[in-house]
Amino acid sequence: MKKAIYPGSFDPFTNGHLDIVERSLRVVDHLTIAVLKNTSKKNLLEPEKRVELIREVFEGNDKISVETFSGLLVDFMKEKNTNTVIRGLRAVSDFDYEHAVFLMNNRLLSEFETIFFMARADNSFISSSIVKEVSSLGGNIADQVPAVVYRHLKKIYGHD
């Protein structure tokens, strides 16, 4: 059984992330969506809340588990007994960062591999940070996030 980890902040989980998860299940049999806890980014949602929302999105799908993790990704990978991570690439701007992260992880774990999925055209403009900003200002992001995430953001910001 081929397993992989999809690590990220997912603050919040968007339709861009959803597409990457669905497509990765054409390549792997089981995916662990791993919500990073020790990120230096300023977050809106607590990691446990992010996990809860993502679990709701994939309720009933036993090919997907959702967990938090902290510390080194390679240590979490050893724990999960996999050498493969999934990442999404939107624009050239994602490439430099992803390349640097790959090179570092590959140094830390020689069998480390990343499978990259290119964002589909209609998702390539979606980012968690822009979703948060637009939502906080009252813009409608209903077509950019799963319904459970949309409802939660609406509750936080008190409007559509």
Least spacing, CB of residue 41 vs ligand ADP, in Å: 6
Least spacing, CB of residue 6 vs ligand ADP, in Å: 7
By the criterion CB under 6 A, which residues form the site for ligand ADP? 8-10, 14, 16-17, 20, 87-90, 94, 119, 123, 126-128
Q: Which residues are catalytic?
A: 17, 41, 90, 128
Minimum CB distance to ligand ADP smaller for 1 or for 40: 40
Least spacing, CB of residue 50 vs ligand ADP, in Å: 9
Phi-psi region of 102 (alpha: psi -120 to 50; beta: other; left: phi over 0): alpha
Minimum CB distance to ligand ADP smaller for 142 or for 159: 142
Which residue lies nearest ligand ADP, judged by its C-beta? 16
Whose tokens are 């993502």? That residue is 54
Structure tokens at 88: 């999404």
